[in-house]
Amino acid sequence: MAKQQVKQEQPSFQYDAIIIGTGPGGEGTAMNLSKSNKKVAVIERQEAVGGGCVHWGTIPSKALRHSVSRYIEYKANPLFNVGERPTRLTFPDILRHASSVISKQSNLRSSFYDRNRIHMFQGDASFVDKHTIEIKRLDGSTERLTAKTIVIATGSRPYRPPEVDFTHSRIYESDTILGLEHDPHRVLIYGAGVIGCEYASIFKGLGAKVDLVNTRDRLLAFMDAEISDALSYHFWNSGIVIRHNEEFDRIETRDDCVIMHLKSGKRVKADCILFANGRTGNTDTLNLEAVGLKADSRGQLKVNETYQTDIDNIYAVGDVIGYPSLASAAFDQGRIAADAIACGNCDEKLIIDIPAGIYTIPEMSSVGKTEQELTAAKIPYEVGRAQFKHLARAQIAGTEVGSLKILFHTETKEVLGVHCFGERASEIVHIGQAIMEQKNGGNTIDYFVNTTFNYPTMAEAYRVAALNGLNRLFK
């Protein structure tokens, strides 16, 4: 007599997926899963959605930068020099503009979750097992949710060395600096990465004296050398003191100032310190041990090409997985992870040439290879350049500082890299990116010569740079 086969019942879960975090990575995952008819829950520890991108990072710093940049233009414009000089703006003054932008962005993103019928829970999330999440609310109460798939999109936070007293009223990191209420005359920024350089521009634009302590030998070494050198020159020319190859030994705090003691023996005095040297993934409170996951020393998780962790039903996207740590990339990572979750696999991958936009004053932006990378790879290339000071639109707008550089293959004319320095650089670079992504011979520098650009525009820089580069070729 044959044994009767018993059909194994599939476990029942409350949700198809739970996403922890509502930054760009969490949002991209949640929206795409919802549109795939999945039942989705999202857990956010803050009162409002948007994550660090909206509340402490990308949006606030760029809103601050925009206000300061317009303030600088206003002071420099001869039309406004006839009458009364503009009153001096302070950091708290420009924070008000940033606050309104943050509110608008958070409200907009909250409406996305409502329209897509995604269930929202507020509180701190931690794993119970690979399918169960416990939520701890502010009032101490807890609730448990279950799901077939769980996505970690908890983002990152500024790195805080244990020997630095961040409770002191004159010591800040890139999150807490948004609570600065006084008007410092001298600011010390430790860490000359993207965040450090952006805030150096902001404080210098407001008239503060800025010391920028760089632990490396050049600013933003991942950028094309000419572009990073241009930023260094403009920082130096504006009065920012850059201290390369320095590391802090200790920070001395006083009631009226702070003093950073460097390992080289130097001492730097300032009204406040902004510590901007690295970030840490927000994984320490997730109880990863309960599911057998382990973050690295920087709190980051390892994932495969579809953002799946070592646990088959747990995915991770955004800053919590490290490079490239960009809001734009995080959203795409979430979208790709959602496709993999919904369909079982996903052929789509994050693009190779991710554009970098650095919102200093002036801006920097790039996509593709740098001159240094092409030289090291022994790829024959030529350079086409356009100076903004020669463009009618830049002359009209009074934004003549900067240039555009196109790198292209000397034989195939394929565009290999685009690098831009100057006002609106982060917008201008996308024209080059669009051409670089073309297939079947569509990616050549000839496009910029054969296309008619509006005049006067900043986009015309591509035609000028292309002609400049082609004129360098010879047989």
Measured in Å, how far apart are the chain's first and last C-alpha atoms?
86
Q: Does 45 belong to an annotated binding site?
A: yes
Q: Does 44 belong to an annotated binding site?
A: yes
Q: Does 197 belong to an annotated binding site?
A: yes
Name beta bridge partners: 213.
Answer: 190, 243
CA atoms of 302 and 206, how far apart (whole Å): 41
282 phi, psi to nearest 5 deg: -85, 75
Q: Does 460 belong to an annotated binding site?
A: no
CA atoms of 120 and 20, how far apart (whole Å): 10
Q: Is 186 exposed, middle or buried (0-12, 13-18, 19+ CB in 10 A)?
A: middle
Q: Does 346 belong to an annotated binding site?
A: no
Q: Does 51 belong to an annotated binding site?
A: yes
Q: Does 196 belong to an annotated binding site?
A: yes
Write the CA distances from 53 to 57, 167, 318, 325, 404, integer angstroms.
5, 23, 11, 11, 28
Q: Does 154 belong to an annotated binding site?
A: yes
Q: Does 156 belong to an annotated binding site?
A: yes
Q: Does 280 belong to an annotated binding site?
A: no
Q: Does 195 belong to an annotated binding site?
A: yes
Q: Does 54 belong to an annotated binding site?
A: no
DSSP 135-202: EE-TTS-EEEEEEEEEEE---EEE---TTS-TTSTTEEETTGGGG--S--SEEEEE--SHHHHHHHHH
Q: Does 63 belong to an annotated binding site?
A: no
Q: Does 181 belong to an annotated binding site?
A: no
Hey, how many other C-beta atoms are within 10 angstroms of the C-beta on 440? 5
Q: Does 193 belong to an annotated binding site?
A: yes
Q: Does 9 belong to an annotated binding site?
A: no
Q: Are 247 and 164 in contact (CB under 8 A)?
A: no
Longest CA–CA span in the chain (Å) reads 104
Residue set of the binding site: 44-53, 62, 154-156, 191-198, 278, 319
Residue set of the binding site for FAD: 44-53, 62, 154-156, 319
Residue set of the binding site for NAD(+): 191-198, 278
